Amino acid sequence: MQFATAIDHVGIAVDDLDAATDRYRSILGAEPVHRERVDSQGVEEVLFQIGDSYVQLLGALGPETAVGRFLAKRGEGMHHVAYRVDDIAATLDTLRAAGIRLVDETPRRGSRGTTIAFVHPSAFGGVLVELVQEG
Ligand code: CMX
Ligand code: CO
C-alpha cells in the first residue's frame, strides 16, 4: 500500500496571520479558500489552494501552544508537511509497527472536517509530519 496519495499541505508558522495572509494573497494573486480557528490545536489557519494541495498559514492562539512555542524558539518558518492518506488509522498502525514515534496515538478532528494525526519530527529528517484524511 502506498504511504500517501498527495502532499495535502505545507504548514507555515507566522507571527501575524493577517499580515502574512495579505502578503501571500498578493504574491500568489489569489484569495484564501478557507480560514478557521482550531482551538484544539491552538491555531488559527488560513489556506491558499495550489493545485490539489494547500499552503496553510498558522497563527498561534497563545504562547503555550505548539505553534507559539515554535515561533518563540525558531521564529517564522516551515512548521510541518502534511501527507494526504486514505486510511489514517491504518497508516498510524503501520508507522507504530515500524517503531516510528507518534505524537498522536489516535486520530483527531482537524479543520475542514478532516481527520488528522501528527508524527514526531525525529522520524522524518527533523520535519514534523501531519497525516490528513478527508472527511
Ligand atoms: N518541526 C520540527 N521540530 C520541532 C517542531 C516542528 N514543528 N516543533 C518542535 N520541534 C522540536 C524542537 O526544536 C525541539 O527540538 P530539540 O529538543 O532538539 O531542541 C523539540 O522538538 C521539542 O521542542 P518543544 O518546544 O519542547 O516542542 P513541543 O513541546 O511543542 O513539542 C511537538 C513538539 C512536535 C511534539 C508539538 O509541537 C506537537 O505536538 N505538535 C503537533 C500539533 C501541532 O503542531 N499543531 C499545530 C498545527 C495544527 C494543524 O496543522 O492543523
Ligand atoms: Co497542518
Estimate the share of the chain in helix, then strand, then coil, as percent rounded to the nearest 5. 30, 40, 30
**9 a catalytic residue:** yes
**List of the chain residues with pLDDT < 50:** none
Nearest to 9 by CA among 135, 129, 120: 129
pLDDT for the residue 135: 83
60 touches 14 (CB < 8 A): no
What are 38-60's pLDDT values in tens digits? Answer: 999 999 999 999 999 999 999 99
pLDDT for the residue 101: 97
- From the alpha carbon of 58, which atom of ligand 1 is closest? 47
Asked if residue 8 has its Cβ within 6 Å of ligand 1, the reply is no
Question: What is the distance in A from the centroid of ligand 1 to the CA of 61?
Answer: 15
110 touches 124 (CB < 8 A): no
115 touches 135 (CB < 8 A): yes
Residues in a beta bridge with 15: none
pLDDT for the residue 84: 98
User: Of the residues 41, 44, 79, 80, which is catalytic?
Assistant: 80
Asked if residue 121 has its Cβ within 6 Å of ligand 1, the reply is yes
